[in-house]
Amino acid sequence: MRMIDRLREYVEDETPTGAVDALNAFADRLLSRYGELGGTARRVPAPTGDHVVADFPGRGPRAAEAPLLFLAHHDTVWPIGQLQDAMPWREQDGVIHGPGVFDMKGGLVVLETALEQVAGLDHRPVRVVVVADEEVGSPSARELVTAESAGVVAAFGLEPPHPNGDLKTSRRGSSRVRIEVTGREAHAALDPGTGVSAIDELLDQLIAVRALVSEYDDVLCNVGTITGGGRTNVVPGNASADLGFRFVDPETERAVLDAVKGLQPVRRDAVLEVSVMSNRPAWQPSEAADLLLAKVAEAGRSVGHEVGGAAASGAADTNLTGWLGVPTLDGLGPRGKGAHAVHEQVIAASLAERAALVAAIITTL
């Protein structure tokens, strides 16, 4: 099957984060596919959807060497129906459009094709981990990724590359934090003084967070959702916000998160609860990543591709392997643009280019 045809199948099988049945059905598809490719695959149950782990044996004199680890995910940010309503599959002028085509079902197809290409060639073993809740920080997969990275020689992510095709050599740390406020409801006109507005309290807390973040040059903070209240004539008794933080180093990460977790209510009788929903530690630049990039660049030249690398702002499961000290690179998915945007797309020709690069990595590292 052509790479583009398989990619279309995968994109049209919509798998939003949290859609357990859809994700598990896609996991079934991956289990079958990895079996066809000669791997031993298993599912790892999780409440957010099952993860998939597959081991492919090495061949020839390198069969007993430490494996390479490839990290991927099969969830997307798009709800079921996005394909029909707003982002139909479309091929035009060498560009493929569709929900999840870039982030990151294109990467799944790249890896499968590379595994086909190395069949019959000598190479070290390959281990694959495909996560079901990566788009919300992989909260159920952290222990799995940690366990499966033990003993590997290097880890590679199949996330999208930089716009020019460069790989990602480090990533900011990423944490999702929820601030929940409990106030006290009351009639907003007849008895406002007995009420405690959870929304007003939340707003003051968000202002405090902004002031805190402004003390650091390299911290990013995005208030992603706000909920609360119900009627304009009722003092709201509950409110909450989900925030996304990005950090360049673990020291700043600890300082900011400790300060946020230590927030205190401004209003008497307001109750404040701060929880960290997911955390990916900062993966900082390292000599190990530089050395790995040099080897990958050499592999790239063997198939006619120039490979560069640079730091990335976004987070992924490679944050964890890089933080753990495993030599790590990310961005082996196809070139394109529009991750998490309605113009999401990949350059069709880059699918084969990336598959050739991944195959060269498997056979030469």
| Chain segment 319-351, per-residue pLDDT in tens | 999 999 999 999 999 999 999 999 999 999 999
Statement: the pTM of the whole predicted model exceeds 0.85:
yes
Neighbouring-strand partners of residue 347: 95
- Write down the pLDDT at residue 85: 83
| Chain segment 114-128, per-residue pLDDT in tens | 999 999 999 999 999
Cα gap 100→76, rounded to integer Å: 6
Longest dimension (CA), the chain: 83
- Write down the pLDDT at residue 334: 98
Contact 159, 280 (CB under 8 A): no
75 is catalytic: yes
Tell me which residue of 363, 251, 227, 235 sits closest to 302, measured CA to CA.
363
Q: Which structure tokens are listed for 315? A: 């987070």
Stretches in the chain below the pLDDT threshold 70: none
Neighbouring-strand partners of residue 90: 97
Domains observed in the chain: 3-172+282-364 (3.40.630.10), 173-280 (3.30.70.360)
| Chain segment 61-113, per-residue pLDDT in tens | 999 999 999 999 999 999 999 999 899 999 999 999 999 999 999 999 999 99
Catalytic-role residue among 14, 50, 75, 185: 75
3-class state of residue 274 by DSSP:
strand
Contact 283, 246 (CB under 8 A): no
21 is catalytic: no
Contact 350, 335 (CB under 8 A): yes
- Write down the pLDDT at residue 1: 72
Cα gap 1→220, rounded to integer Å: 43
Catalytic-role residue among 50, 103, 112, 134: 134
Cα gap 359→365, rounded to integer Å: 10
DSSP 334: P
DSSP E strand boundaries for the chain: 40-44, 51-56, 68-73, 90-92, 95-97, 126-131, 154-157, 167-171, 173-182, 186-187, 220-228, 234-235, 238-247, 271-280, 309-312, 328-329, 336-337, 345-347
Contact 170, 312 (CB under 8 A): yes
Q: Which spans in 249-332 are helix H?
A: 250-261, 287-302, 318-323
What are the distances in angstroms from CA 4 to CA 9, 105, 351, 360?
9, 11, 8, 21
SS (H, E, C) 124-151: CCEEEEEECCHHHCCCCCHHHHHHHCCC
Q: Give the CA-trace dihedral at 293, 309, 224, 249, to 10 degrees.
A: 70
Cα gap 173→278, rounded to integer Å: 11
